[in-house]
Amino acid sequence: MISVNRVTKEFDDITAVNNVSVSVDEGSVFGLLGTNGAGKSTLLRMIAGVIRPDLGEIRIDDMKVYDNPKAKSRIFFVSDTPYFFDNATPVDMQIFLSNQYPAFDTVKYAGYLKTFGLEPDRKINTYSKGMKRQLALLLGICSGTKYLLCDESFDGLDPVMRQGVKSIFAKEMDERGLTPVIASHNLRELEDICDHVGLLHRGGVLLSKDLEDMKLNIQRVQCVFSSEEDEKKIEDGLSVVKDDKSGSLHVYTVRGTREETEKAFKEVNTVFYEVLPLSLEEIFISETEVAGYDIKKLIMG
């Protein structure tokens, strides 16, 4: 487990991370959302032990991470601007990282390079931005570490490559318990892969929740009531987060399970009602609006 407890980091008069506490469970995919400047990169660098927090504590499997080689050996950090040695090839990077990470899987690495069409003896400085990101991710996956920290690593990948990397994540999680932490400013990149999502804004955590719990406990229902009395029964009986009303049509966002919601609507008279599926984006919009924020401005520009 990765445990971040009340961590703060300042650079001169700028507070990059402000009193952040999050936990990342083993074998899950943790998505770290936030706009540019929200503190994602700084937080990941502290988790990786690259920089020291000013306040608070970070532990990897109950070990302090900063200045601790044993803890750091369990982490591979893929930065938003991957670094490679001058004139290095993918094979050169493999040789170097194999010395740093004894569990580096050279056979798997060679297979992934072939799958992704990355020439092993070609100089990396001739690669495109997307190819460099692919290579950095493959190096991280094949390093054999327990935790893989990815900072905007899907940015620049085309949809096919993005799905390919996600498939590899799923395979590695199943086979050896890999735990990826993926930072992104794009909510849609994380929807089909993450188990848990934390939302950062201005250095602090707005929310950190399990996606399945969020999906199970928030519903959207569109309906037309037979009477004002039935409308009042629903609004008194359910935890209504939001009511978008157009004429006689209500579109409610409510907290509670689907079973609880349907039971409440079956007990009143409606012209019709329908429980609608919710996307991750819609769930987050609902959650952050309750907290007084507009995620459309925070994440989607």
Residue 227 maps to which CATH number?
A: 3.30.70.120
Beta strands 196-201 and 179-184, pairing class: unpaired
pLDDT at 192: 75
Q: Are residues 133 and 243 in the same domain?
A: no
Q: Are residues 196 and 247 in the same domain?
A: no
Model confidence at 301, pLDDT cuts 50, 70, 90, reads: very low
Question: Which range among 71-85, 130-144, 197-211, 281-295 shows the weakest confidence by mean pLDDT?
Answer: 281-295
Q: Are residues 97 and 240 in the same domain?
A: no
Length reported for the chain = 301
Percentage of the chain lying above the pLDDT 90 cut: 65
Strands (E), 25-72: 30-33, 55-60, 63-64
Q: Are residues 74 and 148 in the same domain?
A: yes
pLDDT at 299: 52
Q: Are residues 84 and 167 in the same domain?
A: yes
Phi, then psi, of 273 in degrees rounded to 5: -145, 155
Model confidence at 75, pLDDT cuts 50, 70, 90, reads: very high
What is the mean predicted confidence (pLDDT) over 194-215?
Answer: 81
Model confidence at 288, pLDDT cuts 50, 70, 90, reads: low
Range of the domain at 268: 217-298
What is the mean predicted confidence (pLDDT) over 106-110?
Answer: 96
Q: Are residues 148 and 39 in the same domain?
A: yes
Task: Report the distance separating Cα 134 and Cα 164, nearest Å.
Answer: 10
Q: Are residues 24 and 89 in the same domain?
A: yes
Q: Which residues pair with 150 in a beta bridge?
A: 78, 182
Q: Are residues 188 and 222 in the same domain?
A: no
**Structural domain count of the chain:** 2
Percentage of the chain lying above the pLDDT 70 cut: 95
pLDDT at 201: 77
Task: Report the distance separating Cα 274 and Cα 114, nearest Å.
Answer: 49
CA angle 158, 161, 167 (to 5 degrees): 140
pLDDT at 89 over 50: yes
What is the mean predicted confidence (pLDDT) over 75-99?
Answer: 94
Of 73, 59, 70, nearest in space to 145 by CA: 73
Q: Which residue has the higher pLDDT, 298 or 69?
A: 69
Q: Are residues 206 and 229 in the same domain?
A: no
Of 148, 179, 210, which residue is a domain's last? 210
What is the mean predicted confidence (pLDDT) over 209-224?
Answer: 85
Question: Which range among 39-48, 65-74, 273-282 shows the weakest confidence by mean pLDDT?
Answer: 273-282
Q: Are residues 69 and 194 in the same domain?
A: yes
Q: Are residues 189 and 68 in the same domain?
A: yes
Q: Which residues pair with 64 in a beta bridge?
A: 59
Q: Which residue has the tokens 């690593």?
A: 153
Q: Are residues 46 and 147 in the same domain?
A: yes
Model confidence at 36, pLDDT cuts 50, 70, 90, reads: confident
Confirm whether pTM is higher than 0.85. no
Task: Report the distance separating Cα 276 and Cα 249, nearest Å.
Answer: 14
* Interval 151-163: pLDDT, tens: 988 877 788 888 8
pLDDT at 93 over 90: yes
pLDDT at 64: 94
Model confidence at 199, pLDDT cuts 50, 70, 90, reads: confident
* Complete DSSP assignment for 241-297: EEEEEETTEEEEEEES-HHHHHHHHHTS-EEEEEEEP--HHHHHHHHHHHTT--HHH
144, two tokens: 């054999």
pLDDT at 115 over 80: yes
In eight-state DSSP terms, residue 119 is -
CATH code, 6: 3.40.50.300
pLDDT at 14 over 50: yes
Of 142, 32, 115, nearest in space to 80 by CA: 32
pLDDT at 233 over 90: yes
